[in-house]
Structure 1
Amino acid sequence: MARTRVRIASLLALIVAPALVAGCTSGPDKSADSGSESTKGRPVVVVTTTWEGAFAKAAGAEDVTVIVPQSVHHAPDYDPKPSDLAAVAKADFVVYAPFEPYAEKIKEAAGSRAKPVEVNLDNDAEKVKTEVARLGKLFGTEKAAAKWTTAFDAEYGKLAKDLKAAWPGGRSPNVVSQVFTTWSAKLAGATTVGTYGPEAVTPAQLAKLSKKKPRLVLDNAHMSTGTVLPGSGARQVKIVNYPGQDLDLLPVYRNAAAELKKAMSGS
């Protein structure tokens, strides 16, 4: 598969956009008389964050533009600029999550050309595979999506097996998880005895969750409210949901597995 091209939408992107739209490229993939930004099987996809971008890339998209800069720690707080919305209007597909406050702006900017696609942003393995298959069908890249899923299953199985071998005393550890990090508990084969969030833990919740005597607290790095169960003895693990600028979803699982293994070993 060709290397995915990732462009963070910005004023610079808006300046160079006319050249791209006109098909001014020396590569063989775009025809000067096609009058389109994309060739068959290579849709132009605009996504709100790197998380949606990773789903799109996994599904086979090769031309992906990300709106929210990776430097924004909490992506839903971002306010899209006019240049961002201009990029949306030039896409074949615009991918977003319903919980993002700017979702309506994104849909409006899509106009009649771009097809808005709402995705379920959750790194739960089965949900990811469902979304990747759905996007692959929409993009016309089903074979690429299926190939990625095969690689994902192999990597996920390897990580899960490695984490199971690291269980303290050979037993599944009890964990408390933030509502958006439960996928990492499943990866580890951990026993989830309670969840919290996305709001901060209240004193009543603190008492209730502490009684569960969890070994680990799986915190959401993007929505952390500090130490969740102070004084409980539980070790807190930061779980990162968003992929990097390369839009590769697999490192999210590898990094989570590394953090979980380290926490279970007590190191």
Structure 2
Amino acid sequence: MAGTRVRIASLGPLLALSAALLLTAGCGDDPAPRGQGGASRTEEGRKTGPVVVVTTTWEGAFARAAGAEDVTVIVPRSVHHAPDYDPKPSDLAAVAGADFVLYAPFEPYAAKIKEAAGSKAKLVEVDLDNDAETVRAEVTRLAGLFGTAGEAATWRTGFDREYTRLRKELKAAWPGGRSPVVVSQVFTTWSAELAGVTPAGTYGPEAVTPAQLAELSGRKPRFVLDNAHMSTGTVLPDSGAEQIEIVNYPDESLDLLEVYRGAAAELKKALGS
């Protein structure tokens, strides 16, 4: 996603609102001040642990897996390309009360939002990749920041069990018991790994060039694993390859396992065809 142009024009009015928001926050009753790393609030009806604001449901799923309960998502899931989002005043208000703000490198407006809000939140860059090893490492790292190591360990145990189950099912669905030839968008290679398949080639995030088109088609792939959030249509026309749209972001439930189950369902359907 390098080179993406990001619109942050709406942050101007947000700067004007920051002082008022901070004054309002200072006048409220908060008998249990928040700190960084495992902060706790015990008022009846309120969630415990750190207050986490995330740019998208993807970061939100990582935070939830790491053990965070109080998670607020800024960018609606309907916005498939997060850097195109224009933050609203309500986003500023959410950041002003956060302990942590999670963002990805291709979402540079996150730092601008924090600056506009005058927030003392810790800004945390997340490696957004559903590769299993990356997920385990990021969940562990975030749990260290949040003070939720126990919750994260429990999640990782469930993740490992479900990942193993899905991988076994997909390998059993290989046509003729042989690994199919696939090419993948660079941000969906994790789904090939889930199926136990090594991609014969990758493309993106830039548009496929004529030379790439010829090279990838020459690999005679059976499947193309496309990124649903950055799709440009049919990637390898006339190649005969079936294109599968892989979704990286979870829904509002922030359940990262549902992303793996969804990808497995699409892959299994295609393998069976």
- TM-score tier, shorter chain, comes to 0.7 to 0.9
Q: CA deviation at 1:130?
A: 0.3
Separation in 1, partners of 2:101, 2:234: 37
Change (3 A) 1:85 1:143: same
Aligned partner of 2:6 in structure 1 is none
Separation in 1, partners of 2:98, 2:31: 18
The amino acid that maps onto 2:184 is S
Q: Does 1:168 align with 2:172?
A: no
Q: Does 1:49 align with 2:56?
A: yes
Q: CA deviation at 1:135?
A: 0.4
Separation in 2, partners of 1:129, 1:36: 27
CA RMSD of the aligned region, Å?
2.2
Q: Give the TM-score, by structure 2 length.
A: 0.84
CA offset digits 1:88-139 (Å, max 9, x no partner):
1210011001111313313424645211011100000000010000000100
Q: Does 1:96 align with 2:100?
A: no
Q: Does 1:106 align with 2:83?
A: no
Separation in 1, partners of 2:106, 2:117: 18
Please list every run of 5 or more consecutive structure 2 residues that lacks an aligned counterpart in the other structure: 1-19, 42-47
Separation in 2, partners of 1:190, 1:64: 34
Separation in 1, partners of 2:145, 2:52: 11
Aligned partner of 1:33 in structure 2 is 31
Separation in 2, partners of 1:243, 1:144: 20
SS at match of 1:60: coil
Alpha-carbon contact 1:50-1:243 (below 8 Å) kept: yes
Separation in 2, partners of 1:34, 1:174: 56
Q: Which moved more, 1:39-48 or 1:148-157?
A: 39-48
Alignment of 1:188-207 (within 5 A): 188-207=195-214
Aligned partner of 1:85 in structure 2 is 92
Aligned partner of 2:66 in structure 1 is 59
Please list every run of 5 or more consecutive structure 1 residues that lacks an aligned counterpart in the other structure: 1-13, 24-31
Separation in 2, partners of 1:232, 1:107: 47
Q: Structure 1 vs Structure 2: percent identity of aligned residues?
A: 74
The amino acid that maps onto 1:34 is A
Separation in 1, partners of 2:195, 2:260: 10
CA offset digits 1:34-83 (Å, max 9, x no partner):
24496266000000000000000000000000000112122221121232
Alpha-carbon contact 2:217-2:239 (below 8 Å) kept: yes
Alignment of 1:95-174 (within 5 A): 95-109=102-116, 111=118, 113-174=120-181
Q: Does 1:209 align with 2:226?
A: no
Alignment of 1:170-249 (within 5 A): 170-249=177-256
Alpha-carbon contact 2:97-2:119 (below 8 Å) kept: no
Aligned pairs, how many? 243
Separation in 1, partners of 2:235, 2:258: 26
Separation in 1, partners of 2:269, 2:33: 53
Aligned partner of 2:268 in structure 1 is 261
Q: Does 1:71 align with 2:78?
A: yes
